[in-house]
């Protein structure tokens, strides 16, 4: 088969339309959100360039007067409403990347499709790619040279299989495609940098906000960058934002960690592994989620963040992301192989993922639980406290100066004597006040057991969905407060959890879904 056939090739490789005599078009910004893709708009009535020649071509190169170029997907605008025939429109992200004002005279080219698409086609055919080939693909993806369909092709072809060496090459390429933080210089001068990551899927599992202050209080650097929630009811960044500012740039983050050994900030300003962000924006809606892509995603971000020691938390449970010990074991091996080759000391902890952790689910409720634990409030959820202590203990044991087995007791002592709370308050103070302090959603309703019995299981996926339906994480005060956990006995009519919401319709949808099936198995 002539697999490499691609329609646009012919024109694309030679038809340089921006020779000195090429016509120019007037640059316009077109206010369309394109979710990461650079898009250019050309009127079908344009006479300077022939719009019909773009019918089977996707990409053009736009050149500004200063010589800067960007590659964008071209859309033809049918009539004069959006764009006159003498203008070239650019979506906001592409417009900003070109760095030219509206009204500039720009030229366009048919863009050569990225050469690395040949490697994607090789992968589609089932071939093993070389490290340099993967690196070229990732470079082009990070530079927004791939369309969504092309990214999908790479992801799906890779989902069929990736060798361990390909996963390693992918991880390295992704880590190298953006900012790489170095902690081994002022103001920090750290030789070791701790980090933790949970593969996710467990509502309420907000351990980072307890682990970071414990580890920092013990003197080990742990600069934590987190994402906002994508598929869950709250991310660490969303929850921390209820307590402090998380929009912190790299220089300020380094100052904070230099002074306090820890931070809990949103990773969005730091540009770590930007290719990963692009890949995730395509993976998530499609639900592509292989061990290989998970490992590359996580370790590329950690390598770029300069972490030297990393603890991975893999919760295992029938409604968690990882559903069997066998899957978790495979994932662990891959984390260790790639981590080792990247120079990161990776430890993997497999934890119980059979039900949500803690009580609160949603930013405000989770922040409440975290602070209760740090304050040693006896009413604070014990499972979240114990999980966080175990993880913190394992991280402390990365310290060669600590005797084996002393990690957990040291973590517990640091929490109980208030040092962890102090560290957390210092970090919060250094990051600045929350930009959006939010009360708990004022609509609330208790969801009750229909019949009595012992609680056998809680469905993590369903509880997460109900919390999202209630409005979390966009509506920070929305979520679920769990009143019963697995093993508890309930009577008929006794409340299982409370739904909080801030918006009428959210409240209605969430309570309806909870009434349909609350996500509890009681026998």
Q: Three-state SS string across 441-476, please? A: CCEEEEEECCCCEEEEEECHHHHHHHHHHCCCCCCC
Residue 319 to residue 457: CA distance in whole angstroms: 10
Kind of pairing between the strands at 345-352 and 360-361: unpaired
Length of the chain: 523
Q: Does 512 bind a copy of itself (CB under 8 A)?
A: yes
Nearest distance in Å: CB 250, a copy of itself:
25
Q: How many CB atoms lie within 10 A of CB 512?
A: 11
Nearer to a copy of itself, 81 or 185 (CB): 81
- Choose between 96 and 429: whose C-beta lies nearer to a copy of itself: 96
DSSP E strands, 187-226: 194-198, 222-226
Output the six-digit token pair for 261: 């050994």
Element holding 168 (H helix, E strand): helix 164-176
Q: What is the contact mask toward a copy of itself in residues 205 to 244, using x (rule: CB under 8 A)?
A: -------------------------xx-------------
Note the Cα 21 to chain centre separation in Å. Answer: 46
Size of the site for a copy of itself (CB under 8 A): 79
d(CA 478, CA 61): 45
CA quadruple 413, 354, 267, 243: dihedral, nearest 10: -60
Count other C-beta atoms under 10 Å from residue 286's C-beta. 12
- Pick the piece of the chain touching a copy of itself (CB under 8 A) from 2-10, 210-218, 252-260, 360-368: 2-10
Q: Quick check: 97 binds a copy of itself (CB under 8 A)?
A: no
Instruction: Decide: 501 and 475 in contact? Cβ < 8 Å.
Output: yes
Q: Cα separation of 496 and 485, whole Å?
A: 8
Catalytic, out of 84, 118, 247, 289: 289
Active site residue 289: yes
Nearer to a copy of itself, 150 or 399 (CB): 150
Grouping H, G, I as helix, E, B as strand and the rest as coil, residue 522 is: strand
According to CB under 8 A, which one of 130, 252, 269, 323 is a site residue for a copy of itself?
323
Stretch that binds a copy of itself, among 72-80, 265-273, 295-303, 437-445 (CB under 8 A): 72-80
Residues 7-36, mask of contacts with a copy of itself (x by CB under 8 A): xxxxx--xx-x------------xxxxx--
Contact set for a copy of itself, span 469-508 (CB under 8 A)? 469, 474, 505
* Cβ at position 457, least distance to a copy of itself in Å: 16
Give me the phi and psi of 351, to 5 degrees please: -125, 170
Answer for which of 212, 282, 373, 395 binds a copy of itself (CB under 8 A) is 282
Q: Is 249 one of the binding residues for a copy of itself (CB under 8 A)?
A: no
Query: Which region, judged by CB under 8 A, interacts with a copy of itself, from 77-85, 127-135, 389-397, 413-421?
Result: 77-85
Site for a copy of itself in 152-191 (CB under 8 A): 152-153, 155-157, 159-160
Min separation Cβ 297 and a copy of itself, Å: 13
**Shortest separation between residue 383's beta carbon and a copy of itself, angstroms:** 21
Q: Which of 24, 131, 148, 258 binds a copy of itself (CB under 8 A)?
A: 148
322 binds a copy of itself (CB under 8 A): yes
Of 464, 279, 215, give the one whose Cα is nearest residue 353. Answer: 464
Q: Is 457 in the site for a copy of itself (CB under 8 A)?
A: no
Of the candidate spans 143-151, 271-279, 416-424, 450-458, the one that interacts with a copy of itself by CB under 8 A turns out to be 143-151
- Asked if residues 214 and 224 have their Cβ atoms less than 8 Å apart, the reply is no
Q: Are 359 and 369 in contact (CB under 8 A)?
A: yes
Q: Which is nearer to a copy of itself, 273 or 319 (CB)?
A: 319
Q: Which residues are catalytic?
A: 289
């Amino acid at each position: 088969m002539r697999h490499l056939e691609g329609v646009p090739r012919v024109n694309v490789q030679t038809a340089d339309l921006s020779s000195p005599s090429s016509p120019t078009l007037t640059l316009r910004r077109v206010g369309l959100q394109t979710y990461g893709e650079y898009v250019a708009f050309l009127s079908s009535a344009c006479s300077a360039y022939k719009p019909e020649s773009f019918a089977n071509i996707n990409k053009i190169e736009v050149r500004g007067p200063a010589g800067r170029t960007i590659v964008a997907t071209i859309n033809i605008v049918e009539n004069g409403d959006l764009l006159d025939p003498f203008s070239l429109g650019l979506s906001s992200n592409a417009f900003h990347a070109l760095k030219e004002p509206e009204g500039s005279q720009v030229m366009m080219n048919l863009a050569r499709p990225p050469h690395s698409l040949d490697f994607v086609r090789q992968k589609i055919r089932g071939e093993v790619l070389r490290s340099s080939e993967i690196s070229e693909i990732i470079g082009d993806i990070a530079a927004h040279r791939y369309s969504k369909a092309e990214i999908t092709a790479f992801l799906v072809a890779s989902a069929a299989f990736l060798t361990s060496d390909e996963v390693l090459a992918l991880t390295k390429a992704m880590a190298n495609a953006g900012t790489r933080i170095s902690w081994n210089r002022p103001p920090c001068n750290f030789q070791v940098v701790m980090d933790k990551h949970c593969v996710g899927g467990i509502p309420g599992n907000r351990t980072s906000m307890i682990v970071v202050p414990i580890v920092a209080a013990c003197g080990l650097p742990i600069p934590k960058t987190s994402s906002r929630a994508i598929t869950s009811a709250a991310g660490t960044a969303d929850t921390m934002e209820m307590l402090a500012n998380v929009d912190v740039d790299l220089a300020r983050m380094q100052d904070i960690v230099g002074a306090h050994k820890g931070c809990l900030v949103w990773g969005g300003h730091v540009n770590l592994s930007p290719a990963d962000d692009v890949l995730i924006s395509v993976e998530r809606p499609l639900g592509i989620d292989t061990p290989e892509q998970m490992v590359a995603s996580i370790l590329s971000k950690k390598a770029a963040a300069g972490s030297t020691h990393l603890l991975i938390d893999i919760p295992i449970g029938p409604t968690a992301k990882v559903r069997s010990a066998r899957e978790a074991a495979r994932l662990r091996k891959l984390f260790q192989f790639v981590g080792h080759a990247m120079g990161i000391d990776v430890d993997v902890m497999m934890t119980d993922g059979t039900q949500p952790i803690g009580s609160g689910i949603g930013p405000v409720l989770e922040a409440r639980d975290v602070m209760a634990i740090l304050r040693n409030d006896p009413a604070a959820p014990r499972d979240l406290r114990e999980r966080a202590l175990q993880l913190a203990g394992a991280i402390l044991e990365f310290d060669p100066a600590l005797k084996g087995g002393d990690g957990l007791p040291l973590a517990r002592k640091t929490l109980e004597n208030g040092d962890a709370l102090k560290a957390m308050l210092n970090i919060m103070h250094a990051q600045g006040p929350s930009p959006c302090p939010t009360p708990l959603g004022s609509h609330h309703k208790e969801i009750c057991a229909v019949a009595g019995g012992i609680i056998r299981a809680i469905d993590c996926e369903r509880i997460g969905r109900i919390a999202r339906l209630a409005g979390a994480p966009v509506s920070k005060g929305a979520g679920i407060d769990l009143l019963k956990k697995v093993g508890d006995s309930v009577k008929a009519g006794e409340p299982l959890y409370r739904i909080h919401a801030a918006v009428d319709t959210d409240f209605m949808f969430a309570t309806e879904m909870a009434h349909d099936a609350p996500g509890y198995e009681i026998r």
